[in-house]
Amino acid sequence: MKDILPDSRQRYIHTPKKMIHTPGGAWVPFYCANCGRESGSCPVENMTFMFYLCNKCAETHGAIAGVMLMPDEVFFEKIKQEQMATYGRYLSEQELRAVVEADASPLATLLKQGR
């Protein structure tokens, strides 16, 4: 029997304040699949699934078999290092979107495989 992980995105938006609207589209909150703590936002468009464990729960319960587990700090540090190595500075949100849309660099790969 396959293990099925729960989706960490908020399913229903009861209050419009919870949904964030940006020029790039709408974002909804996501929560730790174990403790339920609100942990950030993810785009609504082109997002079909998201499983998330906060750092505390990941440390407490350990790695899930067959799933890559990377602390947020490690992921964000990799993004920073790649930006500095390639561009010599940190990119703006609009510039990061353009990098992902171009899909022709190691930074785009990191951003797409990331959170």
pLDDT in tens, 51-78: 888 888 888 877 776 666 666 677 778 8
Residue 104: phi and psi, rounded to 5, are -135, 30
For range 6-14, the mean pLDDT: 75
pLDDT in tens, 31-54: 898 899 988 888 777 777 888 888
Q: Show contacts of 7-11: CB within 8 Å, 24+ apart.
A: 7/49, 7/50, 7/51, 8/32, 8/33, 8/39, 8/50, 8/51, 8/52, 9/42, 9/47, 9/49, 9/50
Confidence of residue 115 (pLDDT cuts 50, 70, 90): very low
Extents of the domains making up the chain: 7-67, 70-115
pTM of the model: 0.51
For range 95-115, the mean pLDDT: 76
